[in-house]
Amino acid sequence: MGLVTVAASAVTLVIVISLAVIPYSRTVRQNIPFDILWRSGLWQQVTGFLLLGFSLMCLALYFRKHWRRLWFGSFSSWRVLHGILGVAGLIVLVAHTGMRFGSNLNLALMIVFVAANLGGALAAGSIWSRYQFARHLSHKWRRRIIWIHVLILSPLPALIALHILSIYYF
Amino acid sequence: MRTRTYWGLLVFCNLLIGAFFIWRLQTDNQQAFLPGEATHGHHQIELACEACHIPFEGVPQKACLDCHAEELEMANDSHAESVFSDPRNLAELELLNARLCVSCHVEHRPEMVTSMGVTVPDDHCFHCHFDIAEQRPTHTEMDFNTCATAGCHNFHDNRALYEDFLLEHSDEPGVLVTPLVSKRDEPEALGPPLSFGDHDAPADREVDPALLAEWAGTVHARTGVNCSDCHVAEDPKALWDDSPTHEACKSCHENEVSGFLGGKHGMRIASGLSPMSPSLARLSMDPEAMERELGCTSCHDAHKFDTTRAALDSCLECHADNHSKSYKDSPHFKLWQEEVSGIGVPGSGVSCATCHLPRESHKKGDDKWVLVQHNQNKNLQPNEKMIRGVCMECHGLSFSIDALADPVLIERNFQGQPSRHVESVDMAVQRAIEDLKRKKK
Amino acid sequence: MMIMARTVCALTLGGFFLTALAIGCGSGGGSGDNQESGTIFTPRMMADALYAVIESDRTVYTREVVDRLQDEEKVIKASEHWKDDKALPLPAQMFRMGAKMASDKTNVFSYSLLSLWPINKQNAPKTEVEKQGLEAVAERQKPFYAKETLGGKTFFTAVYPDAAVAPACINCHNNHKDSPRSDFKLGKTMGGVVIRIPLSQR
């Protein structure tokens, strides 16, 4: 049932952060210099590689599904972990970008990343509905939604690799 | 089966994206990587990545200094790198590494920019000058975000704002007794004066007599500059060039061309991009001028080289922001009309160029000469940079500070009087009086 | 199918790590230390030698240029705004300009001119050692030596008493409106020359 919480919080989080761009501080005299996250190259690398790590860990669900014998734990607990990582990734994404989408390559990466997370939230919701309202959504539809989530993710490896490359190249 | 198709698709799609971006990296147009638009100072050259970036090394300080070092040196930079180099400043440098330009001027982060291309909060002065009120009780009530925004201090250029300068010019009237700008010097003549028949265009070329007539009436003809001096490069084997560029002008007007290349009009050429065009500008431009391109002759007119036109009409053919559009209603324009029509004395008129491409006096030993600074960026922003070199040719210091601190007045192109008063001159005078009293005791 | 999936995945991940590796190799390198044989100079000896040069040069400038041309010959003035006033730089400014220029050339040492009663408040002591040193030299007129750590780096810091060597020094400092003192006397300590030599390269 962890999924319920995860799905609900994911959807809320995405909606909230999509609406509000966190502005840079207008003073150097704030108590918590939160915008150091976006100003300092070090913090940008910390949050950036954390995001990369979370993304790779999320990938584990795929392998858990297809290499059943090699892994421990039930699939549903893996799925809950996947959801938690997804939500945590969104929080780190806010720390990394302040929800500023940027331009060009960065814009593409942000759109794909946020859309994939929304797709994930949708997928989580569809699985939740299986528990809440039995057979409300057909098995076929659930699979389709999960496929949408996976399809959106497809360009992510190249975009992330190029993003990292561009940061160090320029 | 479905999984296999998906993986095939995934690999294909990623390779495609990767290949596209890597290909772009090999070309001159690397816009695909541009993370955000550049500031007003650099947007023209934001696609000349290598003007600032070195692959895998970022933006070295040298990249900034290549273009800005001379200007900072001239400005007697109040916060030069060397001010902070002593290890005693290490603690403060941890708060803000003021040795590097990019600590305060981050590019491609439009949401971070405040003004002047600065990307740290306005009150950054607080880091080092938090106790200023103890030394200057008059500053007690002032907020740290007004240091650089109220017309009192600049971070780099305080040539017209330091205390003793304020004091020295404290009793000047709004308009000086002799409000005149210096006379411009011309390069040395290449030879004796030439007339219509002396032109040396090749016999096999058809030459428009109207162009020849224009040339014959110019300083060029008067100072022995013939067709071939511009249309044929110095190399004797070189062929006739129908459209000489700034390179041809440079042989006599090196200072002007280097100013042009350093400023907003020529910086794209200097960075190896196509010439600047009104369509690329962020300021409002005349819709009809959008496709024009900037070179020496776009303002100076090939063959005619009419400096009166270049000083005003040429500007207004493209520039259509409120400040430019208000100019013809301004007292400055009235003075310009009077000078051009012969009523006013030479140097009494104020054209666009008088302020934005000002005449600069140079001196070496007993030699003195006046040249036009073609890098309009040198005194553009912060606008207090204009006070000493331009405003004070005709106006008192306090009046100039007030006028430049009034954005509405600037937009109206100085029709009327400053609506606010910056107290810096008064404060300098007040302190001098107090000092005298203290010494008498 | 599984094998293919695994291969593709390994390739993708491998790509990431290769990129990361390539990036990681971007920085690094080092330089070897070449110890020249012969006399070994201690930081204190080095500081003393540097001080002798710095102080002598400045005294020569103060006496033979500024004092002579401004006060005796009355040919040219020395001014804080020497560029605008077409004048000679003040001796303290000449000192600072030299310190700035030296700092552009080397980080083997740095030097500055500080005081407990500075005209420009940025030249008041900032670190604890500077404060102790300036107080010590004002009192005893003898050099003060200490070690200090600034920004994670250890320094050998020497503070030497800086006395008023010419009337120009005290005239200006006693009459400047930003000077906190107006009773400086010729030959007496007005501040200190601080020389720092980094002991650790980190």
For B437, which residue in chain C has the nearest alpha carbon?
Answer: C177
B410 part of a folded domain? yes
C27 part of a folded domain? no
Establish whether the linkage from the previous residue to B382 is cis, with ω within 30° of 0. Answer: yes
Tell me, yes or no, whether B356 and B422 share the same domain: yes
B335 part of a folded domain? yes
**DSSP character at residue B232:** B
- Judged by CB atoms closer than 8 Å, whether chains meet at C19 and A161 is answered as yes
- Judged by CB atoms closer than 8 Å, whether chains meet at B87 and C103 is answered as no
Number of domains in chain C: 1
| Span of A67-81, B147-161, B249-263 with lowest mean pLDDT | A67-81
Quick: pLDDT tens for B95-105: 999 999 999 99
B255 part of a folded domain? no
Residue B68: name the closest of B155, B128, B145, B150 by CA. B155
Strand partners, C163: C189
B25 part of a folded domain? no
- Residue C160 DSSP SS3: strand
Q: Cα–Cα distance between A83 and A61 in angstroms, integer?
A: 10
C24 part of a folded domain? no
User: Which pLDDT belongs to residue B7?
Assistant: 85
Q: Mutual orientation of helices B397-404 and B424-440 as an angle, nearest 10°? A: 140
B88 part of a folded domain? yes
- Judged by CB atoms closer than 8 Å, whether chains meet at B124 and A102 is answered as no
- Judged by CB atoms closer than 8 Å, whether chains meet at A102 and B36 is answered as yes
Q: Cα–Cα distance between C108 and C96 in angstroms, integer?
A: 17
Tell me, yes or no, whether B90 and B226 share the same domain: no
Tell me, yes or no, whether B391 and B350 share the same domain: yes
Q: Cα–Cα distance between B136 and B164 in angstroms, integer?
A: 15
Tell me, yes or no, whether B44 and B132 share the same domain: yes
Instruction: Indicate which CATH number applies to the domain containing C153.
Output: 3.30.450
Contact present, A157 and B18 (Cβ < 8 Å): no
User: Which pLDDT belongs to residue B42?
Assistant: 96
Residues of A in contact with B106 (CB under 8 A): 39
Tell me, yes or no, whether B107 and B210 share the same domain: no
Confidence of residue A12 (pLDDT cuts 50, 70, 90): low
Q: Cα–Cα distance between A39 and A37 in angstroms, integer?
A: 6
Tell me, yes or no, whether B141 and B196 share the same domain: no
Tell me, yes or no, whether B149 and B171 share the same domain: no
B14 part of a folded domain? no
Quick: pLDDT tens for B102-132: 999 999 999 999 989 999 999 999 999 999 9
| Span of B194-208, C53-67, C85-99 with lowest mean pLDDT | B194-208
Tell me, yes or no, whether B79 and B206 share the same domain: no
If one compares C197 and A133, the residue with the highest pLDDT of the two is: C197
Strand order in C144-150's β-sheet? Answer: C110-114, C189-198, C153-163, C144-150
User: Which pLDDT belongs to residue B291?
Assistant: 94
Tell me, yes or no, whether B179 and B204 share the same domain: no
Number of domains in chain B: 3
Residue B163: name the closest of B138, B141, B143, B145 by CA. B138
Tell me, yes or no, whether B61 and B122 share the same domain: yes
C176 part of a folded domain? yes
Q: What is the mean pLDDT of chain B?
A: 93
In this predicted structure, the answer to whether residue B237 has a pLDDT above a threshold of 80 is no
Confidence of residue B91 (pLDDT cuts 50, 70, 90): confident
């996250």: which residue's tokens?
A: A37
B1 part of a folded domain? no
Q: What is the mean pLDDT of chain C?
A: 84
CB atoms within 10 A of CB B200: 12
Q: Which residues does B166 contact at the CB level (< 8 Å), separation at least 6? A: B397, B424, B425, B428, B429
- C175–B contact, CB cutoff 8 A: yes
Angle (nearest 5°) at CA B151 between B147 and B155: 50
Contact present, B92 and A5 (Cβ < 8 Å): no
Residues of C in contact with A168 (CB under 8 A): 23, 26
In this predicted structure, the answer to whether residue B206 has a pLDDT above a threshold of 90 is no
If one compares A63 and C47, the residue with the highest pLDDT of the two is: C47
Domain that holds residue B148: 33-158
The dihedral through the CA atoms of A62, A68, A70, A72 has a sign that is positive
Domain that holds residue C132: 43-198
Tell me, yes or no, whether B440 and B305 share the same domain: yes
Least CB-CB distance to A165: which of C2, C9, C19?
C19
Report which secondary-structure segment, H or E, holds A7: helix A2-19
Tell me, yes or no, whether B175 and B65 share the same domain: no
